[in-house]
């Protein structure tokens, strides 16, 4: 009997501990009737409390809490997939090699990213459209791609810069153009999907370009490529990485690109504290070896030593869909890229 009892205890420990660990990572939190994480669950409340204790212990300066993005797992939200790139696109050489590899069709040679000018302003907000919501599909790469395409069009139209209001909220430059993320998600020939992808700006250079949201509305699903008969089209004239898909440019280089092109799309590593972010300056000091999420950097503030980051998790996340993140946090800026129209 004693041996049976011991074996039973061992069985319970072996089976329960992994489950507890996964609850801590937010993977097996209680689901509501819709199959998403129950935002009112005590398990989620305990996880938020643990995050707050970690933030306090590390002296970090941001806040966390329950927000709509917490309904999903990180696997559902973070769709950066370097392994889906063709080998040539990982070349550490000039950006044009990656452009050619990812385009899979002749693409115009992009002009060189400008050399950072001395004496850049300590504060600048660029040109961008408002945040959208990717839902539970790992299509952050499509949203980051479209964000940059929309910025390129606005820049060509001499749209006003956005602004940070006195109450801390952010006002975008304009709400249009509103391009279709579903088109990029469903009609790319790169194998990118809700299971993940990477920067797809090459798809939008030249013919056929992007199309309007109304022609192929976003459904957060891997739909067949099918859209309206006469879409409004925008054809990018070029794009490039500042360095490559897997390198982090200098802060000065990213600033110069934002100043020149309006904003840049880039990658960042997202953990649960990032997902639960509600305000302040995100200054996570943990070291990560790779990135898992595509976003857009739309401005900077040297008094905060931080970028203004635009996300794709809706306006219920962060500061109405934005975040202040320090220049050195979580590999932010990796794969920074710009586009022109």
In a domain, 332, yes or no: yes
* Residue 335: φ, ψ to 5°: 65, 20
Residue 330 CB contacts under 8 Å (≥ 6 apart), including other chains = 268, 269, 270, 271, 274, 284, 286, 288, 291
In a domain, 15, yes or no: no
In a domain, 58, yes or no: no
How does pLDDT run across 49-77, given as a tens digit for each residue?
Answer: 999 999 999 999 999 999 999 999 999 99
What Å distances lie between residue 18 and 4, 27, 75, CA to CA? 22, 11, 18
Count: domains in the chain: 1
In a domain, 41, yes or no: no
Answer yes or no: 158 catalytic: no
Confidence of residue 216 (pLDDT cuts 50, 70, 90): very high
- CATH classification at residue 286: 3.90.70.10
Using CA atoms, how far apart are residues 28 and 195, in angstroms rounded to an integer?
Answer: 19
Confidence of residue 117 (pLDDT cuts 50, 70, 90): low
Answer yes or no: 140 catalytic: yes
Annotated active-site residue in 188, 198, 284, 311: 311
In a domain, 329, yes or no: yes
Using CA atoms, how far apart are residues 142 and 193, in angstroms rounded to an integer?
Answer: 9
Answer yes or no: 58 catalytic: no
Q: Let me know: does 237 contact 102? Beta carbons within 8 Å.
A: no
Task: Name the DSSP class of 274.
Answer: H
What Å distances lie between residue 2 and 10, 11, 15, CA to CA? 12, 14, 20
Question: How, if at all, do strands 322-326 and 238-241 pair?
Answer: unpaired
Query: Per residue in 292-303, is it b (16+ CB within 10 Å) or e — as a string?
Result: bbbbbbbbbbee
In a domain, 190, yes or no: yes
How does pLDDT run across 119-152, given as a tens digit for each residue?
Answer: 789 999 999 999 999 999 999 999 999 999 999 9
Give the residue, 105 or 236, on which the prediction is more confident: 236
Annotated active-site residue in 188, 194, 293, 330: 293
Provide the domain limits for residue 273.
Answer: 68-340
Question: How, if at all, do strands 277-282 and 264-268 pair?
Answer: unpaired
> pLDDT value at position 4?
43
In a domain, 81, yes or no: yes
pLDDT (mean) for 283-294: 95
In a domain, 51, yes or no: no
Annotated active-site residue in 140, 194, 215, 330: 140
- Which tokens in the block code for residue 290? 């790779």
CA angle 195, 279, 47 (to 5 degrees): 65
Give the residue, 293 or 117, on which the prediction is more confident: 293
């Amino acid at each position: 009997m004693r041996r049976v009892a011991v074996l039973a205890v061992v069985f319970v420990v072996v089976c329960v501990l992994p489950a507890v660990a996964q609850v801590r990572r937010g993977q097996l939190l209680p689901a509501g009737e819709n199959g998403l994480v129950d935002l009112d669950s005590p398990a989620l409340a305990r996880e938020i409390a643990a995050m707050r204790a970690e933030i306090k212990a590390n002296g970090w300066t941001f806040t966390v809490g329950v927000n709509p993005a917490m309904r999903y797992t990180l696997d559902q939200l973070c769709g950066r997939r370097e392994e889906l790139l063709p080998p040539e696109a990982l070349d550490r050489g000039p950006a044009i090699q990656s452009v050619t590899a990812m385009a899979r069709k002749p693409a115009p040679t992009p002009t060189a990213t400008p050399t950072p000018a001395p004496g850049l302003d300590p504060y600048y907000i660029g040109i961008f459209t408002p945040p959208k919501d990717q839902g539970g599909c790992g299509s952050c790469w499509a949203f980051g791609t479209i964000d940059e395409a929309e910025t390129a069009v606005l820049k060509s139209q001499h749209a006003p810069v956005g602004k940070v209001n006195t109450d801390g909220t952010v006002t975008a430059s304009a709400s249009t153009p509103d391009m279709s993320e579903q088109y990029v998600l469903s009609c790319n020939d790169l194998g990118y999907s809700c299971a993940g992808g990477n920067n797809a700006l090459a798809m939008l250079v030249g013919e056929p370009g992007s199309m309007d949201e109304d022609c192929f509305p976003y459904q957060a699903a891997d739909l067949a490529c099918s859209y309206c008969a006469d879409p409004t089209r925008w054809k990018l004239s070029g794009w490039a990485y500042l360095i490559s898909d897997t390198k982090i440019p200098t802060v000065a280089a990213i600033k110069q690109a934002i100043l020149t092109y309006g904003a840049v799309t880039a990658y960042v590593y997202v953990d649960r504290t990032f997902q639960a972010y509600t305000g302040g300056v995100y200054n996570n000091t943990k070291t990560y070896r790779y990135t898992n999420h595509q976003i857009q950097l739309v401005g900077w503030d040297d008094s905060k030593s931080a970028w203004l980051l635009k996300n794709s998790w809706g306006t219920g996340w962060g500061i109405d869909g934005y975040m202040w993140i320090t220049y050195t946090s979580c590999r932010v800026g990796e794969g920074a890229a710009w586009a022109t129209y």
